[in-house]
Amino acid sequence: MAITPRRLLAATVVAGLALLAAWTPARGAAPAPVPAAAPNIIFVLTDDLAWNLVQYLPQVKQLQNEGTTFTNYTVTDSLCCPSRSSILTGQFPHNTGVFTNGGADGGFAVFKGRGNENRTFATALQGKGYRTAFLGKYLNGYLPADTQGGALPYVPPGWSEWYVAGNGYPEYNYDLNENHTVVHYGNKPADYLTNVLSRKGKDFIQRSAATGTPFLLEVSTFAPHSPFTPANQDLEDFPGLTAPRTAAYDRLPTDPPSWLAGNGPLTSKEKSTLDTNFRKRAQAVQAVDRLIGNLRAQLTASGVADNTYLVFSSDNGFHMGEYRLTGGKQTAFDTDVRVPLVVAGPGVVPGSQRAEIVQNIDLAPTFQRIGGAEVSANVDGRSLLGLTRGEPASGWRTGGLIEHHGPNQAADDPDAQDRRNGSPTTYEALRTATYTYVEYSNGEREYYDRSVDPHQLDNLAGRLPAARLAALHQALAAYVACQSHATCWTAGHVPA
C-alpha cells in the first residue's frame, strides 16, 4: 500500500506522542540540568546518508527540536573506512594512517596494524567503567569469522558486547560476529539487518540500565548504502519521489579539475536510475528512523532517558546527479563532506544550531568528556559538549581539513567508483564557513566562494591573486603536517 503524505504525517504524530513524550522539551526552553551520575551515550551512525535524506526522518527532526544541530559539520574524508577511523580515534587520516578502504593505506588491517584499536573512545570509556556495545558495520575489510590469529572470531578491544557484520550491505543473508560466535541470518523479514540491530540495541539498553552501570552503545547501520535495500514494509513508500534537482544537478563547475572535466550531460537512463535509487534510499532510512524511535522508547521504559545523550550522524554524504556525477561520494563538494550531526541529551539547548566548523575528529573527545575519561594529547579533535550547552566558542577553529587518496577503483571495494560516479585523484582540502579550497596531487586546484556560490559551480582558483593562493597553500600544508591536538588546533585557524 502506498504511503500518502497524510498517512506519513499521521504516523509521525502518533509515533511522536507515543514514544517521545518523555524526551520533548519546548523549543527554546532552557537546557535540562546535567545529572551527577555518569551519562549514557547512544551513537547512531548511518552509512552514506546525505543531508537531503533528513527530511524523510521524523525521529531525527524530533532530535533537532530537542537538541543541537551542527550546520557546518564535515568528515575528514568522504569515504567509509577513513571517516570511521577518524570517528573512533579523534584523529585525521594522516595520523590514523587510514586513507582508503583497503590496501597499503587503508581498511581494517591498517587501522588495527597501526594500533588504533587501543586508543578509541570505546577503550577510554570502558576504562571508566562503561558497558560498551558495537552493533552493525565496523571497518571495511573486517570479516565476522576472522580470528586474527586467535582461537575465536575476533572482537576488538574496548567493546563489552559485539554484534558486527562484514558484508551487510544487502540487508539479508549475512553473518554477525556475536561476541566471538558467528551467527547467520537469512532472507526472512525478521532477518532485515537494520531491524535486527534495533532489537539488539533495545536489549542492550534494557540489560545495561538494569545494572545501574553507565553504557555506550554505537549502532552503525549499513543503510542507506547501496544496493539501497528497504525493509519489506517500506517498499511502496514515497511514490514518484525523484532525486533533487539542485542548481548543481547535471552541471559542471567552471574550470573543473581533469578527473571531472570529461563528464558529459547525464543521460535519460542515468537520470531515471538516480531517481529510482534516491527513492530507495528514502525508503531504506525508514527502518533507521524506527530504530531510533525504538531505542528512545526503551530508554524511557528503562528510566534512563533523562541521563542519556543521543547522537545521530553519517560517515559521509552522497551525490546523485550533481556535477554530472551519478551516485557516489569521495569528492570535496559539500554534497559529500558536509553531513548531519545532531546531539540531544542532558544540558543540551533544545532547538539550537551551531555554525562552528566541527568535524568527525570531534566525536571521540566529546564522548570521552561525557564519560569523564582523559583525552590524549594525540587526539586531534576537541569536545563539542560546551557548544551543545550554548557556551560561547571564542577562538574556535576556522577551517576543517579533508584528505583523500585516489582514484579509488579497487574491484573488491564496495565504494569503488569510475569517472562517471566520480573518482578524484589524491587531494587535500580546506573548508571554512565561507569557502572550499582544494589541492590535487597533480597540481590542479579548486576554490569556491560558498558565500555567493553555495552550490560550488564557479571555480575561482585560476583567478585568485598569487599571494592569496600562497597563503592558502601554506595553511593547508601546516594542517596536513599536524601531529597532535595542539598543533592541529593551531593549524585549524586558517585564513578567512
Q: Which residues are catalytic?
A: 80
- CB burial class (10 A; 0-12, 13-18, 19+) of residue 36? exposed
| Structure-block grid coordinates of residue 342 | 545532531
Considering Cα of 103, then 403, then 80, then 456, what sign does the dihedral take?
negative
Q: What's the gap between Cα 403 and its chain centre?
A: 16
Q: Are strands 181-185 and 215-220 parallel, antiparallel or unpaired?
A: unpaired
- Between CA 352 and CA 354 the distance in angstroms is 7
* Beta-bridge partners for 70: 354
Closest CA to 379 of 392, 394, 356, 363: 363
Whether the Cβ atoms of residue 16 and residue 296 lie closer than 8 Å to each other = no
